[in-house]
Amino acid sequence: MATITLQGLERRQLLRLMESQNKAPSRPQPANAAPAPPPAAEAKDSPPPKPRIPHQTKTPLTYITIEPKPLSAYDDNPVLNENGAAFVLGVSADLLKKWRYRKQGPNYIQYGPGGPVRYEIKELLAFRDYYKIYLNSK
Domain ranges of the chain: 78-130
pLDDT of residue 48: 75
| Residue 112, pLDDT score | 92
DSSP 29-69: PPTTPPPPPPPHHHHHHSPPPPPPPPPP-SPPHHHH--PPP
Crossing angle of helices 82-89 and 121-130, rounded to 10°: 30
pLDDT of amino acid 11: 66
Tens digit of pLDDT at every position of the chain (138 positions): 454 555 555 666 667 767 766 555 555 556 665 666 655 555 566 777 777 777 766 666 666 666 777 766 777 788 999 999 999 999 999 999 999 999 999 999 999 998 999 999 999 999 999 999 988 866
CB 106 within 8 A of CB 86: no
Rounded to whole angstroms, how far apart are CA atoms 100 and 107? Answer: 9
At residue 1, the pLDDT reads 46
